[in-house]
Amino acid sequence: MKILDVGCGGGLLTEPGASLFITTINKTQLSYALGIVFAEQIAGIVPKGTHTWEKFVSPEMLESILESNGLSVQTVAGMFYNPFSRYWHWSENTSLNYAAHAVKSGAQEHQVPAESVLKEETEELQATASTIAGVREEVKK
């Protein structure tokens, strides 16, 4: 088993009112077509082999996993990346990418409104996309 610790501060979930945010790719035919075939093999937006479709997780499966580990899902929102503008956008459609906000069960009454948190997440996603685009340009040189 391989585990990647990205320093997300998961220990915060031990405190009342803590939130967990997960952004990932849904396990659909669309995610295979766009995330692997288009993004990796045709457009070269990400390196080939970046994604493994079998490891993608549906929002329903993620919710099940989170709930079985003492978390309650508060919000699930779709996300999409526009490679031309290099910006991420929120959407109601979760068939490709999505974000989930969960809290430790019993801590819901102490939560910050999800809308303000999603706004911050959007800004972070856009900054990350810009950084990745800049790195890709440097690598091409």
**Which of 36-50, 54-68, 116-130 is predicted with the least confidence, judged by mean pLDDT?**
116-130
> For residues 9 and 75, which has the higher predicted lDDT (pLDDT)?
75
Whole-number pLDDT of residue 81: 83
Inside any domain, residue 39: yes
Inside any domain, residue 140: no
Whole-number pLDDT of residue 16: 72
How is residue 48 annotated by DSSP? T
CA–CA gap between residue 59 and residue 82 (Å, rounded): 22
Number of domains in the chain: 1
Nearest to 14 by CA among 114, 134, 104: 104
Inside any domain, residue 101: yes
Residue 98, classified by CB atoms within 10 Å of its CB into exposed (0-12), middle (13-18) or buried (19+), is buried
Inside any domain, residue 13: no
Inside any domain, residue 46: yes
CA–CA gap between residue 2 and residue 77 (Å, rounded): 28
Question: Quick one: residue 4, left, alpha or beta (phi over 0 = left, psi -120 to 50 = alpha)?
Answer: beta
Residue numbers of the domain that contains 54? 18-112
- With a pLDDT cut of 70, the percent of the chain lying above it is 63
Whole-number pLDDT of residue 1: 44
Q: 0.75 cut: is pTM over it? A: no
pLDDT tens for residues 84-130?
Answer: 898 889 999 999 999 999 988 765 555 555 555 556 666 665 665 56
